[in-house]
Structure 1
């Protein structure tokens, strides 16, 4: 495919970010909330506070795992805390928790409880950092921190086995004094209900803007119209008198130009700032030249970019668009052919720049991929996977250079540049799936350097003409009540451009 030179000028965002603070001035805002949470947890454990729960709300890339690990360590050192549980939704979440907590507090103190089927999938570095067991009876008697999924720690009769093997903790009402919940807003009620009696005190940390446990339409719980076992459990405690709730007001992941986009997903928050300042994250385009350069230069500004592509052959379906995916392939082919790279300023723990710059190039074994292609439907991601395979073969790339994924499967991940098919691409109406707030939020908040959203023309017309529909019911987290207005608010933070790739474009 040859890219036409008829690309229109990229219009700047309608609503750019203003009144921002960066670096240490931003990082200290999170540190202050973490200090408050630390004091509150100490008072809860000692009985000086009547609170029973702490909920730390975080935006994507806010460093919530760092805050959680700090609180776990402080609970571990508290004289009124004999034993702590740490739970999460998936095995891929509990393993890094066991690794980092075990390295900090010692293998003898940290135990990861997994199913027998999962034993072989636990990396050796996790075994080296923590004691890994497959049955309750194998948990060391002196283990102070037990980590597992809600399904594993909430298995039938597991509470009785834990109390029989370990006894009650200091509080005397369960085997643990406090339970920490990672990615709390991802865990549905019916799973959390299985572990609620592990400890009398809970600390939940998570992103309120991610996808809910299940996309909920009509409430399936006929016994109580105000309760839904499939929604995220923290929603029950939003106004609870014994729940201490705060927001982490700073994000570490995004480039400065993305801040307006991040804020658009959390409009009810008092403030939201980022550590990266203007110029801290850049894209070096190497030897790139020709019409495609204008697109990549725009992405490299760090401002989210929306590109509507006209003149393509008809798609198979609204959300299965092979011609549009082939356009994405042409863009990426030029990117890797030019030897492009990403540069990022490095910071101390307090957010102050060290003066050092990290350069990420293809072939390096970086923790996060350089590029991720995201789409909503499995068939579209199958097409993206074929694009990735061809680019990997042509340019000698690895899974650390480029990956593809459904948005749903990519929650919790980070990458340098995101190229995404807009969830409303080619749609003729807003439905519960394509207009989901959470799906759009995950799509837009993975990147550290650049976001390129692509779609066929017509998004503005769709959003202005589509019939209004209610948002997700029952008070789901995030601003989900008006899908059409939410999408318009998000698009207003993007630089907008259009390209015609037809033969006569």
Structure 2
């Protein structure tokens, strides 16, 4: 039985909690919207919560298209001036919300500051691993039944206060809400756990690479060789960029290295590496590269355009340096998007260029070794992904001994990060994918 079918069963069952684990590009929001088919035309009142206004807008657009006759309201602030479909109401006050069968869509923060006279039948939370347990508790009066769907490999929620006192708590307020539920025996016992089992975004071999970040198994929709990036013009083996592109004939990911300056610690930002990243992007366009990213593309691949390329780095200063190194024609809204992994969550491009998180770092911090950022960086592409880095990464990982400084009883997040980074690097080394 499909996850959507099981979610529909949950809606009419007696369980109060449902958690859906989803790999990247598995159609989380699509599955949520498809599940709402069991709601439309019934007496159920449903709320759909998302983490950002952009996510709410996307959900509203999908729901409006799928169910043009459903009663749908976008619950927003009075200052909201976005554009929604004609069959979506924009409402800002609780007393304006429909009292009968309906679907209400809003951000977690908007719902948290609202007081509802009547509880809803079920609350769906999209991108739930981006929400803390404390945030979920603010929604406890919205409904008595919850469906949390999200990607457990993503970057955990950003918390700006000291959380040391809660590190060993079974209901730690700063942890992702689904993690708290699944790790707490009392909560997990009453939770329906489902898993989406297909990644629709990534090439076949990239799914095997990303699988190591997850504690459940999933497969690739794409078949071997079905997704690719190829140069339409002759490659020059004297250029490191071209040698990296050549490796894509047998892999969808490759690592392009640049010599360290002698001490394995690069400046911040690393303007020299930023120029390498910019040259790679320019070279892909000079070579008139073509790519296959969807079913049927293999026979008629598309020519790569600037808007088909994305660039990601963990630091804003580095992203600015990369933008400054790129030709003016490649910048702007129709050009190459350059931003952090946090802002790439939920997005995708045919081709990604990622600055490795450990590039130029001799003594990695817990931030550098955090697995969510590496997972996001390695899972945004549909055809190919280049990791660009100083050549220190292997040496840094071999020399680094993670400090087991976590609180007693807590998971060793830094140790896990070191192990994941090491496995990721060795995956490419063992397959001769490091140039």
Same fold (TM > 0.5): yes
Deviation at 1:308, TM superposition (A): 1.9
Deviation at 1:356, TM superposition (A): 7.2
* 1:335 and 2:287 correspond: no
Deviation at 1:251, TM superposition (A): 0.4
For structure 2, the residue ranges without an aligned partner over 5 or more in a row are: none
Give the counterpart of 2:213 among 257, 261, 265.
265
Deviation at 1:439, TM superposition (A): 1.0
* 1:193 and 2:137 correspond: yes
1:485 equivalent in structure 2: 419
Give the counterpart of 2:315 among 353, 356, 377.
377
Deviation at 1:312, TM superposition (A): 6.0
Give the 3-state SS of the residue equivalent to 2:388 in structure 1.
strand
Deviation at 1:218, TM superposition (A): 6.7
Distance 1:215 1:60, change over 3 A: farther
* 1:34 and 2:1 correspond: no
Give the counterpart of 2:53 among 69, 91, 95.
91
Q: Measure the CA separation in 2 of the matches of 1:491 and 1:316.
A: 18
Deviation at 1:483, TM superposition (A): 1.8
Give the counterpart of 1:208 among 152, 165, 169.
152
- Whether the 8 Å contact between 2:402 and 2:414 is mirrored in structure 1 is no
Q: Measure the CA separation in 2 of the matches of 1:57 and 1:98.
A: 22
Distance 1:476 1:290, change over 3 A: farther
Deviation at 1:202, TM superposition (A): 0.6
- Whether the 8 Å contact between 1:221 and 1:228 is mirrored in structure 2 is no
Cα RMSD for the two superposed structures: 3.0
Deviation at 1:338, TM superposition (A): 2.3
Give the counterpart of 1:468 among 402, 405, 427.
402
* 1:249 and 2:197 correspond: yes
Distance 1:471 1:67, change over 3 A: farther
* 1:326 and 2:275 correspond: yes
Q: Measure the CA separation in 2 of the matches of 1:212 and 1:497.
A: 29
Give the counterpart of 2:38 among 74, 78, 97.
74
**CA deviation map 1:70-89 (0-9, x unaligned):** 22221334x5x520000011
Give the counterpart of 1:294 among 243, 247, 257.
243
When the two structures are aligned, how many residues end up with a matched partner?
426
- Whether the 8 Å contact between 2:247 and 2:433 is mirrored in structure 1 is no
- Whether the 8 Å contact between 2:16 and 2:191 is mirrored in structure 1 is yes
Deviation at 1:286, TM superposition (A): 2.0
313-322 vs 283-292, which moves further: 313-322
Deviation at 1:38, TM superposition (A): 2.6
Deviation at 1:288, TM superposition (A): 4.3
Deviation at 1:408, TM superposition (A): 1.5
Deviation at 1:435, TM superposition (A): 0.6
Q: Measure the CA separation in 2 of the matches of 1:213 and 1:257.
A: 29
Q: Measure the CA separation in 2 of the matches of 1:475 and 1:57.
A: 24
For structure 1, the residue ranges without an aligned partner over 5 or more in a row are: 1-30, 45-50, 169-173, 347-352, 364-368, 500-505
- Whether the 8 Å contact between 1:265 and 1:478 is mirrored in structure 2 is no
Q: Measure the CA separation in 1 of the matches of 2:96 and 2:412.
A: 41
215-224 vs 404-413, which moves further: 215-224
Deviation at 1:354, TM superposition (A): 9.7
1:14 equivalent in structure 2: none
- Whether the 8 Å contact between 1:265 and 1:490 is mirrored in structure 2 is no
**CA deviation map 1:312-361 (0-9, x unaligned):** 69999455211011011112212112222322342xxxxxx699756254
Give the counterpart of 1:144 among 81, 97, 102.
102
* 1:180 and 2:180 correspond: no
**CA deviation map 1:280-300 (0-9, x unaligned):** 112231224313332112235
Using the size of structure 2 for normalisation, the TM-score is: 0.88
Pairing of 1:12-27 with structure 2 (within 5 A): none
Q: Measure the CA separation in 2 of the matches of 1:33 and 1:422.
A: 34
Q: Measure the CA separation in 2 of the matches of 1:425 and 1:33.
A: 39
Q: Measure the CA separation in 2 of the matches of 1:373 and 1:214.
A: 22
Deviation at 1:189, TM superposition (A): 2.2
Give the 3-state SS of the residue equivalent to 2:248 in structure 1.
helix
Give the 3-state SS of the residue equivalent to 2:39 in structure 1.
helix
Give the 3-state SS of the residue equivalent to 2:246 in structure 1.
helix
- Whether the 8 Å contact between 1:302 and 1:449 is mirrored in structure 2 is no
